[in-house]
């Protein structure tokens, strides 16, 4: 493999032959660090929106997760990347990384973790995906296949190949190879140890994933891109045995810092039921579940979005608009309230208001619904 890469490098004078910053292996770099960072920065806000939006309810949870992530990022093999760690408002247990160090974890995964070291295991694994250029490697393989050697020579002369950085609404897909997964586990444990965490937490984390691997929520989220396996548990055990024993677990710190998310969990069960009822067209049930959720957690914007949408469907337009307005006032950073209200304004002929809401929603996340509605808007 290395020999083959070197031959390609010899042919393509302008392609950057470089060592992988994490593994030290020789590779052909068609995507520069600047391009990686740019891709990550462009996609991150959209990706966060598309996955459920930032968890704005408890900013202390977000800053705690970010602090743990930054501690690990500093001891990684690419400490110079503009890392960011954010919590996403979604119950599906999930975590992901974009090129350039933009990393997210869902509140639905936070509630299953036992201690800070397990959180560190999740984040360190994602840091390796970014630091070791796993997404960039995949894109590069696609470029090799798609455009051939001549194309590569051209594309490396300054500008990026068109279509790579201009993804528009197409979000980066994360389907890592098995070797990328084991690299992320392996080097993630090294980063954990460097940052003072007990690497054993990467074993208990994989055991937890195994326990949940049959549940549909997990297979929809984390395991779509990071499959759990008995092999990964074993590999992490072997790796932990090679590393120094001990280190920080931080059970008390973790529980204290995420207490608000755990406390809110029963309310989110109503939210998930409300969304499910809505998608099954059981609108009165969706309204009932939203009401129950609002009674428990009245500051969560999403209850008003789903209740508004259900009312919208049964032609209670005015109260639907009130719910959307309430949702926007509680969380002005999330696109969906604007999108729903904008579509309803459009339906009821209030085009000026519709245009303003749909523009706001498209700025946060350029959905085809908003963009097509804006195009077709009467003047
Ligand atoms: Zn992974």
Q: What is the 3-state secondary structure (H, E, C) of 256-323?
A: HHCHHHHHHHHHHHHHHHHHHHHHCCCHHHHHHHHHHHHHHCCCCHHHHHHHHHHHHHCCCHHHHHHH
Q: What is the DSSP letter of 248?
A: B
- Would you say residue 215 has pLDDT above 60? yes
Q: Which residues contact 145 (CB under 8 A, 6 or more apart)?
A: none
Res 169 pLDDT > 50: no
Q: What pLDDT is recorded for position 158? A: 32
CATH topology of domain 264-375: 1.25.40
Residue 19 is given by DSSP the state: E
Residue recorded with tokens 């990684």: 76
For residue 16, report the phi and psi dihedrals to the nearest 5 degrees.
Answer: -85, 115
Rounded distance from Cα 357 to ligand 1 centre (Å): 37
Average pLDDT over residues 134-158: 58
For ligand 1, the distance from its centroid to the CA atom of residue 175, given in whole angstroms, is 9
Domain residue extents for the chain: 32-134+169-251, 264-375
84-88 β-sheet, strand order = 84-88, 102-106, 95-98
How far away, in angstroms, is 368 Cα from ligand 1 center? 29
Distance from the alpha carbon of residue 125 to the mean position of ligand 1, in angstroms: 6
129 CA distance to ligand 1 centroid (A)? 7
Beta carbons within 8 Å of 350's beta carbon, 6+ residues apart: none
Tens of pLDDT along 2-30? 555 554 555 554 567 889 999 999 988 88
Q: Judge contact between 219 and 270, C-beta under 8 A.
A: no
Res 103 pLDDT > 50: yes
**Distance between CA atoms of residues 61 and 243, nearest Å:** 30
Distance CA 173, CA 61 (A): 27
- Output the CA 282–ligand 1 centroid distance in Å: 37
What's the gap in Å between 226 CA and the centre of ligand 1?
5
Measured between alpha carbons, how far is residue 28 from residues 17, 132, 168, 176, 182 in Å? 5, 13, 26, 18, 21
pLDDT band of residue 332 (cuts 50, 70, 90) is very high
Give dist(CA 120, CA 54) in Å, integer: 20
Kind of pairing between the strands at 26-29 and 16-19: antiparallel
**Distance of CA 294 from the midpoint of ligand 1 (Å):** 35
Distance 267 CA to ligand 1 centre (A): 30
CA distance 318 to 321: 5
Q: How far is the CA of 198 from the centre of ligand 1 (A)?
A: 19
Q: How far is the CA of 214 from the centre of ligand 1 (A)?
A: 18
Res 139: pLDDT: 82
Q: What is the pLDDT of residue 176?
A: 84
Which residues are paired to 16 by β-bridges?
Answer: 29
- How far apart are the CA of 315 and the centre of ligand 1, in A? 44
Q: How far apart are CA 54 and CA 221, in angstroms?
A: 17
Q: How far is the CA of 331 from the centre of ligand 1 (A)?
A: 30
| 280 CA distance to ligand 1 middle (Å) | 32
DSSP classification of residue 160: P
Q: How far is the CA of 51 from the centre of ligand 1 (A)?
A: 17
Q: Give the residue-averaged pLDDT of 115-124.
A: 98
Q: Cα(first)–Cα(last) distance of the chain, in Å? A: 59
Q: Which residues surround ligand 1, an ion (CB under 5 A)?
A: 184, 226
Q: According to the model, what pLDDT value does residue 12 have? A: 54
pLDDT score recorded for residue 28: 85
Measure 235 CA to ligand 1 centroid, in angstroms.
14
Look up residue 355 and give its two tokens.
């245009």
Give residue 32 CA to ligand 1 midpoint distance, Å.
22
Distance 37 CA to ligand 1 centre (A): 19
| CA 174 / ligand 1 centre spacing (Å) | 9
| Average confidence (pLDDT) over 194-219 | 87
pLDDT score for 16? 74
Q: Which of 185, 188, 176 is nearest to 236 (CA)?
A: 185
Cα 327 to ligand 1 centroid, rounded to whole Å: 34
């Amino acid at each position: 493999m290395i020999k083959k890469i070197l031959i390609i490098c010899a042919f393509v004078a302008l392609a950057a032959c470089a060592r992988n910053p994490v593994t030290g292996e020789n590779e052909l770099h068609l995507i520069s660090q600047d391009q990686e960072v740019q891709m990550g920065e462009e996609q991150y806000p959209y990706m966060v929106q598309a996955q459920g939006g930032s968890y704005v309810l408890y900013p202390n949870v977000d800053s705690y997760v970010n602090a743990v992530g930054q501690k690990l990022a500093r001891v990684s093999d690419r400490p110079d990347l503009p890392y960011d760690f954010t919590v996403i408002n979604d119950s599906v247990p999930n975590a992901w990384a974009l090129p350039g160090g933009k990393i997210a974890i869902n509140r639905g995964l936070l509630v299953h973790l036992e201690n800070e070291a397990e959180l560190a295991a999740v984040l360190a694994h994602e840091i390796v995906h970014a630091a070791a250029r796993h997404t960039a490697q995949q894109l590069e393989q696609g470029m090799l296949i798609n455009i051939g050697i001549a194309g590569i020579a051209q594309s490396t002369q300054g500008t990026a190949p068109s279509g790579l950085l201009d993804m528009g609404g197409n979000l980066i897909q994360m389907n890592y190879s098995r070797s990328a997964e084991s690299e992320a586990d392996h080097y993630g444990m090294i980063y954990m140890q460097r940052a003072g965490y007990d690497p054993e937490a990467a074993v208990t984390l994989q055991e937890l994933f195994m326990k949940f691997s049959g549940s549909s929520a997990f297979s929809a989220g984390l395991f779509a891109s990071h499959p759990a396996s008995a092999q990964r548990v074993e590999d992490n055990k072997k790796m932990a045995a090679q590393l120094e024993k001990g280190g920080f677990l931080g059970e008390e710190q973790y529980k204290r810092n995420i207490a608000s998310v755990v406390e809110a969990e029963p309310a989110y069960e109503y939210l998930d039921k409300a969304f499910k009822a809505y998608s099954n067209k059981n609108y009165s049930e969706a309204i009932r579940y939203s009401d129950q959720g609002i009674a428990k957690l009245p500051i969560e914007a999403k209850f008003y979005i789903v209740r508004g949408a259900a009312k919208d469907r049964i032609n209670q337009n005015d109260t639907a608009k009130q719910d959307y307005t309430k949702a926007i006032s509680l969380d002005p950073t999330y696109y969906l309230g604007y999108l729903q209200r904008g579509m309803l304004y459009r339906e009821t002929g209030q085009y000026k208001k519709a245009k303003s809401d749909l523009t706001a929603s498209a700025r946060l996340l350029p959905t085809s619904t908003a963009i097509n509605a804006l195009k077709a808007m009467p003047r």
